[in-house]
Amino acid sequence: MKSLTWENIQQVYDEYHEWYQKENGSEKGLKLFSKPDVVNKRISQSTFAFLFLWYNVGDTFSKELLTENYRGLVGDEYKGDFQAGRHIGNGTGYNVKNYHHGIGGYCIIDKTYTIQEKRDGELLTETVWVSIKEEYGYKCACCGCLEGDEMTRANGICKLEKGHMDPELPLTNDNTIPQCPYCNGSSKDKRKFNKKGETVAIKDKNTKNWVYC
């Protein structure tokens, strides 16, 4: 296993970004993961999970191991449950296998991809993501927790994450609400939300069908 550190993570990202540009990823609808902030030592869960798997292409890692390595990079103050892996292969185009495919871990199989058709809205960019957070006053759409404050439903500081309104669709500008780590992690792929962050459907545990509220 090759580890990500603040000394090598920029190089890993640059190699990924060079590949992305060579493959014309933006034209093919591939999600572009955000650049890590090496100076201030900040990196999103999604970017870390992707780069970690990209750096170890072909190897499978558990959520617990991803959590351990993410905590080792950002510090022990991170107390949340690592959920970023589930977003990597959900409509992003990358050849990813995860828990939902029954392999018990997360893995970028190889550096191939599937061209993504844009549905309903444009694929989410960091600029649009910032505007969405501004629209919600930098608060979790579900519980109202303010980014940078202590979370109301769990320990730790609120760092807003990109939450699916409909988890069966890609993260587009019309399918994204800001959620705190607790609300995003607890909903996973089991709830659908409206723009207000209200639950509109819950997936039945037995039938796996959606039950609308």
pLDDT tens, position by position, 76-93: 665 555 555 555 666 678
Same domain, 61 and 130: no
Same domain, 207 and 184: yes
Domain boundary among 117, 145, 172: 117
Same domain, 138 and 186: yes
Same domain, 125 and 95: no
Same domain, 177 and 94: no
Closest to 203 in 3D by CA, of 163, 167, 157, 172 = 167
Query: Taking residues 26-40, what's their average pLDDT?
Result: 85
The CB density around residue 197, as the number of other CB atoms within 10 Å, is 19
Cβ proximity of 163 and 174 under 8 Å: no
Type of residue found at 188:
K
Same domain, 109 and 129: no
Domain boundary among 117, 132, 167: 117
Cβ proximity of 62 and 27 under 8 Å: no
Query: Taking residues 184-193, what's their average pLDDT?
Result: 89
**Residue 183, class by beta-carbon neighbours within 10 Å (0-12 exposed, 13-18 middle, 19+ buried)?**
buried
Predicted TM-score (pTM) of the model is 0.57
Please tell me the predicted confidence (pLDDT) of residue 119. Answer: 47
Helix (H, G, I), strand (E, B) or coil at 183: helix
Q: How far apart, in whole angstroms, are the C-alpha atoms of residue 96 and residue 195?
A: 29
Same domain, 68 and 136: no
Same domain, 176 and 203: yes
pLDDT exceeding 70 applies to what percent of the chain?
86
123 pLDDT exceeds 50? yes
Closest to 179 in 3D by CA, of 23, 13, 193 = 193
Reported as a pLDDT band with limits 50, 70 and 90, residue 117 is low
- How many folded domains does the chain comprise? 2
Structure confidence by residue, pLDDT tens digits, 129-155? 888 888 888 999 999 999 999 988 888
Domain of 165, in residue numbers: 120-213
Domain boundary among 117, 152, 168: 117
Reported as a pLDDT band with limits 50, 70 and 90, residue 33 is confident
Same domain, 76 and 141: no
Same domain, 100 and 180: no
Same domain, 73 and 89: yes
Give me the sheet containing 199-203, strands edge to edge: 191-193, 199-203, 210-212
Q: What is the dihedral of CA 202, 165, 49, 159, to 10 degrees?
A: -100
Same domain, 52 and 140: no
